[in-house]
Structure 1
Amino acid sequence: MEIYDVIKILGICTLLLLSLTFIFGFFRINIPNRFQIHKWLGIITLILGLTHGFIVFYVNNLK
């Protein structure tokens, strides 16, 4: 698996988690601990997004 495949997978996962975070935050779905799910999805999305961005920056500018 090349680095570009990892970048693509991280980008797609970040987009999917961002969509889920938006859905859990915007819509008033009656799920227990909805705010906790929204918070953890946001944290995971932020970590994946920063990792994705760092790898893209590394490949394009530092390599």
Structure 2
Amino acid sequence: MVRFDRNLREGQSVRVVAGPFASAIGILERLDANGRVRVLLDIMNGKVSAYLDCSALEAA
């Protein structure tokens, strides 16, 4: 299991706190080579994959 900054873990439920997806809830999927986090967001009754900076996330 991959660990992220600020004790975030792969598979954990997270909330986006900054940017265009602010207040969206999602599941942390993985860390890419650039240090960004891939998050599967639940938006408009569908799943959307997005790459976000780790600082834009908090545990939900």
With the shorter chain as reference, the TM-score category is under 0.3
TM-score, normalised via structure 1 length = 0.21
Which has the larger share of helix? 1
Work out which of the two has the higher radius of gyration on C-alpha atoms and give 1 or 2.
1
TM-score, normalised via structure 2 length = 0.21
Higher RCO (C-alpha 8 Å, min separation 6) = 1
Which has the larger share of strand? 2
